[in-house]
Amino acid sequence: MTQPHPWLAHYDAGVPKSLIYPESPIQSLLEGAAKRAPERLALEFLGYTMTYSALLENARKFANSLAELGVKKGDRVAIMLPNCPQFVIAFYGSMLLGAVVVNTSPLYVARELEHQLRDSGAETLIMMNLFYPRYREIAASVPVKRVVMTTVSDFLPFPKNLLYPVKAKRDGTWVEVKPEPFIHQFKKLLEKSVSSAAPKTTVQPDDLALLQYTGGTTGTPKGAMLSHRNLMSNVTSASSWSPQTVDAGEVMLGVIPFFHVYGMTVAMNMAIKAAASIILLPRFQIKDVLEAIYKHKVTFFPGVPTMYVAINNHPELKKYDLSSIKICLSGAAALPLEVAKTFEGHTGGQLLEGYGLTECSPCATNNPIAGQRREGSIGVPIPGVELAILSESLEPMPVGEIGEIAISGHHVMQGYWQRPEETANSIKDIGGKRWLLTGDMAKMDSEGYFYIVDRKKDMIDASGFNVYPREVEEVIYKHLAVKECVVVGVPDEYRGETVKAYIVLRENTTATPEEIMEFCKGQLASYKAPKQVEFRLELPKSPIGKILRRALRDEVAKG
């Protein structure tokens, strides 16, 4: 399938229209940064600092320690950590050894952890002591042979490293892990490592690097197999979108979780490629974020819409100078235009909506930095990425017509781990080229800008009319009292389905369901306007802050 690429005309000056990707594994990013800028600050974590030369040395030590414990090339290593130095060291240490990282959410309950460890076959688990009780519940039913244990205090400066355990024990949040033969201490592995030399393992670009489990929006979570080539090509493509930032001494805010593919690629790997300083925050707490931006003069801030909503609505926002921000990238969910405009007014930087998904390592599109942004658009494909809008018969749709997004490029996954049938359903050979069918419904305008309409499964069928939740949400967000909202389809005897909006109001504001519905009627066709409105104190969210539409649908289904 050959199509014109009208989006190339909208690339900013300096953004390449095509790319030659390095034939090297992902760890070459860290090796390159340490060679170019050995003494530059790589990581800052609650006052603890680490240079690029020290980060590479620690990653090599960790790789050699894993090898001493019996970890070999191709073995799966599950990392269950928040954003902290240990995550970066463990990730790159595993890559240097040729092991396969299994990113594991620290928020998983025992059942979810059990599924991922069993499905991936991970024999090594790296985790915080706080999460150990969950592992103990399922230890007998998973293939884990060794656990590498760490604590927050392992990488805190003096005297915080001494005070943290005392405070945690007083607060009842400390978990004491008794010594056992299969438990190894992260910090001791580094201190006792046999060598800080690079492991002799040969890692090829097409070797598997990562099992990144999807959020389970289409059923049981499954592992997307991402190779070193996948990760390297996506980091190269994403970095090329802002060529002015290469080795420019940027400061990246690392608050979007690294265990999520978006945070891992943009906030960690892309930053390391540019030898940027990463300010690590283990979780999103609004005051910590504002203070970090102000104190460290953050220039890049990848996040999700709910983070920017929280900043916009913080009552003490004006106390903080956020003018250091140049670019914020918003992913994982639709970014309401009103949220972007408000945020830009507070910071003077740019908040750009992009699009991607786990199976694409994950970045696929972005809005131009200097060029034109179009209302409601996810922008244009970044270099090395090709998008098409396809019909159900996998034929290209005319300009302006809605169809399914298909994506092609070196960043598209190898497939789903041990799921050949699902891989075959998602990846198709069309015209001699591999295309990933995303399940996302969209349209492209005549100049190559793409507009997400919604996921196939999220579409609401109201009396035979297709209603796309995102369009309704964009309108609701324009109401001054609305802080957050999500729209789902609920059963209706007459229409089959009808539109329901769940809304969180801003502090010190009021609204009634009737007021919201009337507000929407003036801006939407009658079949699109919500027929039901429910106010909530909060909406269900994923670990990275993405509003979970599915959770509300499930709630409706259960009555």
Nearest-10 Cα torsion for 103, 108, 112, 117: 40
CATH assignment of 460-557? 3.30.300.30
Contacts of 191 (CB under 8 A, 6+ apart): none
**Confidence category of residue 109, pLDDT binned at 50, 70, 90:** confident
| pLDDT, tens only, 80-94 | 999 999 999 999 999
pLDDT at 217 > cutoff 60: no
pLDDT at 39 > cutoff 90: yes
- Residue ranges of domains in the chain: 460-557
| 384/239 Cα distance (integer angstroms) | 12
For the record, the structure tokens of 455 come out as 């996921």
| 553/18 Cα distance (integer angstroms) | 42
Q: Which residues are bridge partners to 221 per DSSP?
A: none
For the record, the structure tokens of 490 come out as 């609920």
Q: Cite the beta strand spans of 60-193 per DSSP E.
A: 76-80, 100-103, 124-128, 146-150, 183-185
State whether residue 246 is helix, strand or coil: coil
pLDDT at site 218: 42
Contacts of 139 (CB under 8 A, 6+ apart): none
Q: Counting beta carbons within 10 angstroms of the beta carbon of residue 506, is it exposed (0 to 12), middle (13 to 18) or buried (19 or more)? A: middle
| 91/476 Cα distance (integer angstroms) | 41
| pLDDT, tens only, 139-152 | 999 999 999 999 99
Mean pLDDT rounded to a whole number for the chain: 92
* Highest mean pLDDT: which range of 121-130, 170-179, 238-247, 542-551: 121-130
Mean pLDDT value of segment 266-287: 96
| 409/386 Cα distance (integer angstroms) | 6
Q: Which residues are bridge partners to 224 per DSSP?
A: 212, 416
For the record, the structure tokens of 241 come out as 């979108």
pLDDT at site 244: 74
pLDDT at 216 > cutoff 70: no
| 253/394 Cα distance (integer angstroms) | 40
Lowest mean pLDDT among 94-108, 206-220, 484-498, 517-531: 206-220
**Confidence category of residue 1, pLDDT binned at 50, 70, 90:** low
pLDDT at site 535: 97
pLDDT at 346 > cutoff 70: yes
| 204/201 Cα distance (integer angstroms) | 10
pLDDT at site 2: 59
Of 171, 198, 240, whose CA–CA distance to 17 is shortest? 240
pLDDT at site 550: 83
Check whether the bond before 179 is cis (ω within 30° of 0): no
Lowest mean pLDDT among 118-132, 152-166, 414-428: 152-166
